[in-house]
Structure 1
């Protein structure tokens, strides 16, 4: 569970995407990542409090539904499903492009399909097979970061052979914040996107043997680790290599390793990034299927998707996400500048909307539990309610900033369009009805209350 929590956050965004943030802010990107990390940690703490107090299949979807109403729950669940279905396509395309470096003759759509089929097959077996794959994927990613931090520290301290060390690059190219404070604050928006995924552990916890204990331990362990991995690794990059170097924008980790003279840098980094991409693809398939399954339990999705396999896997829900994901991959091949670009922009702020709803639900649930069942609050949000409201204000500020920043404005408005479509879907659901209540009928005929482990 600890590695699922860590792996959900450590994706290609850290290994590649962080270079874009560095290029737009300079060395002060460290501050942007720190602010985004603190805000994400607070959201995760709020979510952990709810999950430990009331474990449920669907996690925060159920919590939002119970505290803010059926409409808010419907929006939360479907937005989150949509987010990870698009992630499936994005990661499949990214993985395909990396594989093409070794197999240049293979068509992108075919490679992406193979990757999706392989990881769908592992998810079809059981939650344990997903956890096993994610354990090894995450282990490789974490090991790569630890090694990078170690080598970078040796360089900065002057202990790496043939180098003098030092951190002159922090201020030698226009100062620590060459683009100004506004650029540092603006960069918080994409940085929060890099941290999205830590909440997956609360969904996976429903299929663990001790969900309350698993979530509590995982959330406590990742708080400092996640922030440390991102902030320290970015700090090493901007301290060791000029922030405006072209190599940093392309691959910041490879730029540092190349300066240290590590052999076969590009091959090593491509392998690590491919592992990160496959990990995110694996998690996206798992998460989208479990969220869709949770939606069926409350009548918010078609009843036909409620069936479970003998191993407790919602295979129809899993295949639904795979089919939509592959349709998006085809769009990336057939219409990369129109259809696929629309899909990418239409999910850019979706996770932030979900995070805001999670925070609002925590405030209401906490007040209710303090009156009715205070003994359930074994893991609490810090400095409640003041820090909770401060977190809500911070997340709302990030969302509003997207509407005004040129680089994120289109994502904000198209994501808002996605929310509008989901709200229309809720009205259709209320008037027509698409499912049943929380009963679940497995394919083997055994009644279950939740997905098997």
Structure 2
């Protein structure tokens, strides 16, 4: 007689995310701490032409999201593109991209925890930074352990605050550029700063391509909605809605806000890479308490990113476990449908990385972090190849596709060609060669393990 498995071992996720949760996750998924802080480094690197870097990276993200949306709306799955790569290319591909993506988000945990700890330590210096990093990580881990609705509720309010902050900044900055902001100095009106410091592209096209790698880290997270939607009541509708709105989200939150920053702040301002673009712009405008305002917004953005990192890493690990590509324990769920062991496993590894951030020299950890841009490009490449192959399968099987890739297969092939070109260009630049080499080494190691496990499973099945 067959017995029903206990609730904690069923391995089924709950559909606990509400429509408003998924909507706000999709709207604010592209808004990370990288927009508020990392964009300053990108501006310092490429000058006003950083707008081209954001346009290029944003276009790539829009196309990839459309491809991912096509597959996810037809077959919603918490493993998202890792599952689709498994079906379209082979188990080794799903294994590789799944573990690389998990690696990316595990690395995000210490970055965001440390950023939050730095801000909180400046407010309450009596608690050491590592103590604040521990408190923030544990707090958000707890919210992820009990139900997916907790993650959704926290992310809803985090997202709402981020969106409100950016809209407020755009309004204030636009008034300044138009010359009608009370108290703003005369040298911030107009767009003269786009060309008056060595021209629009002062450091050449190479610097623009290099800035793309910085911006890729900021954009990573757009795809979270395709993972989260699998735990909602109507995943196909939510995914379709999110992929259709990604263009205006990137246009407003990134291109419009960065355009206003470079119009207000000369790209040579030394404060940009140190204080970040938003704080520098507010200081130039003479806004009282600019640092405190940005610190609060960045703290919210960091908490949001950390919350999403824990959620996304755990769901990808859960999906890998479901496909026998991770330890079986990670695909057990609680009675509330939460993959508790996947959450705890990702948190533990992430917090070990937090400790490594304090123990190891800065250049070691920064080199590991720098692999994230190349990992993002590799993930996008796998998504494009998967969609190219899966589209024909979906059409042959007569599966309904609520979302379809534009100009298929021309734009899909364009993405498949462009990404390797960018990676080759990375290899030609001395400042990014080591980062690409480390990414390649990690990827080759993961591929090797994936191929070995696939062959082992195949041999086991034959016997």
Q: TM-score, normalised by structure 1?
A: 0.92
Q: List per-residue Cα deviations over 1:171-197 (Å, max 9, x = no partner).
A: 111111111223223322222221111
Deviating more after overlay: 334-343 vs 114-123? 334-343
For the residues of structure 1 that align with 2:229 and 2:207, how far apart are their CA atoms?
38
Q: Is contact 1:2–1:221 with CA below 8 Å preserved after alignment?
A: no
- The within-5 A match list for 1:428-447 is 428-430=452-454
CA drift of 1:153 comes to 0.8
For the residues of structure 1 that align with 2:238 and 2:341, how far apart are their CA atoms?
27
Q: Quick one: structure 1 residues 432 and 378, their matched pair in 2 at CA, closer, same or farther if it must change by over 3 Å?
A: closer
CA drift of 1:427 comes to 4.3
For the residues of structure 1 that align with 2:307 and 2:434, how far apart are their CA atoms?
28
User: Which residue matches 2:3?
Assistant: none
Backbone CA RMSD of aligned residues = 1.9
For the residues of structure 2 that align with 1:405 and 1:6, how far apart are their CA atoms?
35
User: Which residue matches 1:41?
Assistant: 62
Q: List per-residue Cα deviations over 1:109-145 (Å, max 9, x = no partner).
A: 2211111100000001111110111111111111111
User: Which residue matches 1:76?
Assistant: 97
User: Which residue matches 1:343?
Assistant: 368
User: Which residue matches 2:32?
Assistant: 11
Q: Quick one: structure 1 residues 67 and 37, their matched pair in 2 at CA, closer, same or farther if it must change by over 3 Å?
A: same
Say whether residues 1:175 and 2:196 are aligned partners: no
For the residues of structure 2 that align with 1:310 and 1:169, how far apart are their CA atoms?
57
CA drift of 1:286 comes to 0.1
CA drift of 1:432 comes to 6.0
Q: TM-score, normalised by structure 2?
A: 0.90
Deviating more after overlay: 166-175 vs 47-56? 166-175
What SS is found at the alignment partner of 1:380?
coil
Q: Quick one: structure 1 residues 169 and 282, their matched pair in 2 at CA, closer, same or farther if it must change by over 3 Å?
A: same
Say whether residues 1:86 and 2:103 are aligned partners: no
Give the length in aligned residue pairs.
435
For structure 2, list consecutive stretches of 5 or more residues without a partner in the other structure: 1-21
What SS is found at the alignment partner of 2:78?
coil
Q: Find 1:424's aligned residue among 448, 454, 457.
A: 448
Q: Find 1:315's aligned residue among 340, 357, 366.
A: 340
Q: Quick one: structure 1 residues 417 and 9, their matched pair in 2 at CA, closer, same or farther if it must change by over 3 Å?
A: same
User: Which residue matches 2:165?
Assistant: 144
CA drift of 1:76 comes to 1.2
Q: Quick one: structure 1 residues 88 and 176, their matched pair in 2 at CA, closer, same or farther if it must change by over 3 Å?
A: same
Deviating more after overlay: 415-424 vs 399-408? 399-408
User: Which residue matches 2:317?
Assistant: 292
CA drift of 1:248 comes to 2.3
- The within-5 A match list for 1:179-194 is 179-194=203-218
Q: Find 2:305's aligned residue among 260, 280, 285.
A: 280
User: Which residue matches 1:447?
Assistant: none
User: Which residue matches 1:246?
Assistant: 270
Q: List per-residue Cα deviations over 1:403-444 (Å, max 9, x = no partner).
A: 2223322221111111122123224534666xx99xxxxxxx
